[in-house]
Amino acid sequence: MFRIHCPHCQEVRSEEEFSYAGEAHIPRPADPSSLSDAEWGEYLHTRTNPRGPHREMWVHTAGCRRYFNVLRDTVSYEILAVYRVGEMPPERGEA
Amino acid sequence: MSEPPGVVCRECPDRVFANVRGDSGDLRLRRAVAQVAGLDLPREPGTWNRADRSRAYWLGPDEWLLVVEGDDGLALEERLRDALDGPFSVADVTGAQVQLELSGPDAGKVLQKSSPYDFHPRKFPPGRCAQTVFSKTTALVAAREDGAFDVVFRRSYADYLMRWLADAAAEYGYRLE
Ligand SMILES: [Zn+2]
């Protein structure tokens, strides 16, 4: 069970209020129709799936309903940092 | 044998609800709401303000729930639209919402049974509000000065949640008004 700090509510809330929303920082291609099927498939489906720190999106579904980013260690499950959409992820995780 | 109930639940059928969205720093928005509802939109996350017959609850950094007693939802929306000049959104959501007051010495215990959120007065003093998981659905809960709580939830869950509250509060003594 995670305890997640929502950067909008500015409170630590229980995991059941949140939903996971996939890997963060994947830009949508500017001109999708110019891509090959392989390139479009890459954008849609290929993820880094790292062992260790992972930058991911969460949404505060039962709370403010806003999206934000989380830097989470996929081995220890430790949440290293939380930051807003539009902000750059911290280099090393420091919550 | 007739001890006072630990939890009293009162329906508030005379409330109308408007969802208001916009830049919280924009004076045009704040002035329009102040003019129509007589209160300031709270900018601090998880807080609410009240005036005589109106309340404004923080829902998100650019979103509020405005609740007015004894009004007409569509008329409220229209008055807000008339007063607003800028990139703002107002929607009458009266048909979607129900408001209750939970009072009594054990009201907080019933909330605590219903949600993972910490409703202890140390953490959730008067003036605070939170949208959170509530039983198998969600609710907006606000702490009042008189120690009671305002609870707002979706109308379509009303039957379910009223049964849930009656069951959760039964051990403390429950009265529905
Ligand atoms: Zn939130």
Over residues B44-61, the mean pLDDT reads 97
Mean predicted lDDT score pLDDT of chain A:
93
B68 and B101 share one domain: no
Fold (topology level) of A1-26+51-95: Folate-binding fold (3.30.2270)
Task: Tally A–B CB contacts below 8 A.
Answer: 39
ipTM of this complex:
0.92
In this predicted structure, the answer to whether residue A42 has a pLDDT above a threshold of 70 is: yes
Mean predicted lDDT score pLDDT of chain B:
96
B34 and B84 share one domain: yes
**Overall number of domains in chain B:** 2
Asked if A11 is an interface residue toward chain B (Cβ–Cβ < 8 A), one would say yes
Band (B3; pLDDT cuts 50, 70, 90)? confident
Asked if B130 is an interface residue toward chain A (Cβ–Cβ < 8 A), one would say yes
Domain CATH number, residue B49 = 3.30.70.1520
Over residues B123-136, the mean pLDDT reads 97
CA distances from B26 to A44, B33, B125, B126 (A): 38, 11, 28, 27
Q: What's the pTM value of the predicted model, to 2 decimals?
A: 0.93
Over residues B81-95, the mean pLDDT reads 95
The pLDDT value given to residue A93: 46
Domain CATH number, residue B163 = 3.30.1360.120
In this predicted structure, the answer to whether residue B129 has a pLDDT above a threshold of 50 is: yes
B71 vs B80, more confident = B80
Q: What residues make up the domain containing B47?
A: 15-95
Band (A90; pLDDT cuts 50, 70, 90)? confident
Q: Of A9, A14, A62, which is closest to B46 when you measure between CB atoms?
A: A9
Nearest residue of B to residue A15, measured between CA atoms:
B116
Nearest one of B45, B163, B49, B142 to B99, comparing CA atoms: B142
Residue B55 counted as domain residue: yes
The tens digit of pLDDT for each residue in B10-40 reads 999 999 999 999 999 999 999 999 999 999 9
Distance CA(A43)–CA(B101), nearest Å, equals 49
The pLDDT value given to residue A95: 43
The structure tokens listed for B85 are 């000049």
Nearest one of B108, B134, B135 to B122, comparing CA atoms: B108
Taking the centre of ligand 1 as the mean of its atom positions, its distance from the CA of residue B174, in whole angstroms, is 32
Q: Which of residues 139-158 of B touch A (CB under 8 A)?
A: none
- Decide if B130 and A16 are in contact by the 8 Å CB cutoff: no
B79 and B114 share one domain: no
B160 and B144 share one domain: yes
B49 and B121 share one domain: no
Longest Cα–Cα distance of chain A, Å, equals 44
